[in-house]
Amino acid sequence: MTGAPLRLAVAAMGTRFELALAAGRGDLLAAGEAALEEIERLHGRFSRFAPDSLLSHINRTAWRSPVRLDRETFELFTDALDVRVRSEGAFDITVAPAMAGAGFADSAVRAGDGRLDAGGVRLDAAAWTIACAGPHVALDLGGIAKGHALDCAARTLRAAGVTSALLHGGTSTSVAIGAPDGAAGWGIAIGDAPGAPVVMLRDAALSVSDAGSQRTATDDGHIMDPRTGAAVRRSGRASVTGPSARLADAWSTALAVLGRLPDGFPQGFSARLLPGPESTPHSSAGAA
């Protein structure tokens, strides 16, 4: 394929997903639409605002009896709980009651006592089920679902023969398949300020989280620290690059909260912490 990439887009998960398909065999439009449909399917499964989503079903019933999952969804929850442990609690999918209490009144999750209880989530690897310790446990996949959707969409594109494409969800998380013709990778600027650092992405994912992003309805509009339930009182940006968009998504969120690289940061991923005006000096790290 020569000329401009084929661009497709869909609104999902509270943002806009866009695909730019540059090369591949077969029907690129059909491949792109299949990828968009996959994103929409996952939106339907993991939206905490939709009463008929799988996530809402889990939040309603998993405390009464385990909910059966497919392998991919089971692995999503497994990764999420693993990131919580490795990030020392800076990423936590049990934030839903606290977020509902913080003002997301349209959530299908009832505002409970705000208690987080990641320890109250039980995964059974033999049965691919998820159970919750009690009705106070409620899950929110907001920090990982977008990356997961991009991973699944990229897999759909590759299966359909696409060899060069860039996908992003709300511009904060991107996946690159191959590279544009003649280029080393897809160039992604981290931020829109002049001189912003550029990452060349090829067959990898990048996610950027900003501690000052509008993640809650708190007055200061900062991201919530799951360990305290309070807003992160620091500006700064974290970017994570690696083979998995969902892990990059979760880890960029965690690092934006932590403001540092924990010992549990996974092999095969690299991170860059960019300072805000009043933050600690930035650091960048890569792991072989």
Partner 1 sequence: MTTPSSNRRTFIRQTAGALAGLSLVPDAWEALPALQGPAVKAGLVGLGRQGRAIIAELQKIEQVEIAAVCDVAAPRLKSAAGLVRGAAAFDNHRALLDTRADVTAIVVATPTHLHRQIVEDCLAAGRHVYCEAPIAASVEDCEAIATAAAGAGTVAQAGFQGRSNPTYRRAQPLVETELRQLVSMYAQYHRKTSWRFPGATPDAERAANWRLDPEVSIGLAGELGAQQFDVAHWFRGGRYPVRAQGRGGIRLHRDGRTVADSIDLDLIWEDGVALRYQGTLASSYAGQHELFVGGQGTIRLAWSHGWLFKEADAPTQGWEVYATRQQAFGAEGIVLVADATRLAAQGALQSGIGLPHPSLYYALVDFVRSVTEGAPVRCSMQEGARATIVGILANRAIVTGEPVTVPAFG
Site residues for partner 1 per CB under 8 A: 11-12, 14, 26-27, 29-31, 33-34, 37, 44-45, 49-52, 54, 56-57, 60, 65, 67-72, 105-106, 108, 110-111, 127-128, 159-161
- Output the smallest distance, CB 164 to partner 1, in A: 16
DSSP-assigned letters across all residues of 101-116? HTT-TTSSS---S---
Q: Which is nearer to partner 1, 14 or 286 (CB)?
A: 14
DSSP state of 133: S
Query: What phi and psi values does residue 23 have, to the nearest 5 degrees?
Result: -160, 155
The set of residues, in sequence order, having a beta carbon less than 8 Å from that of 132 and lying 6+ positions away, is 58, 59, 62, 63, 120, 121, 122, 138, 139
- Output the smallest distance, CB 106 to partner 1, in A: 5
- Output the smallest distance, CB 59 to partner 1, in A: 11
- Output the smallest distance, CB 52 to partner 1, in A: 5
Report d(CA 253, CA 89) in Å as an integer.
Answer: 11
Q: Which is nearer to partner 1, 123 or 190 (CB)?
A: 123
Structure-token match 């998993």, residue found:
62
> Could you tell me if 172 and 267 are in contact, meaning their C-beta atoms sit under 8 angstroms apart?
no
Report d(CA 153, CA 276) in Å as an integer.
Answer: 33
Q: Which is nearer to partner 1, 14 or 119 (CB)?
A: 14
- Output the smallest distance, CB 38 to partner 1, in A: 10
- Output the smallest distance, CB 187 to partner 1, in A: 28
Q: Which is nearer to partner 1, 51 or 286 (CB)?
A: 51
Q: Which is nearer to partner 1, 46 or 91 (CB)?
A: 46
Report d(CA 17, CA 12) in Å as an integer.
Answer: 7
Q: Which is nearer to partner 1, 127 or 196 (CB)?
A: 127
The stretches of 180-244 forming alpha helices (DSSP H) are none
Select from 95, 91, 129 the least CA-distant residue to 254.
Answer: 91
Name the 3-class secondary structure at 216. Answer: coil
Q: Which is nearer to partner 1, 51 or 197 (CB)?
A: 51
- Output the smallest distance, CB 26 to partner 1, in A: 6
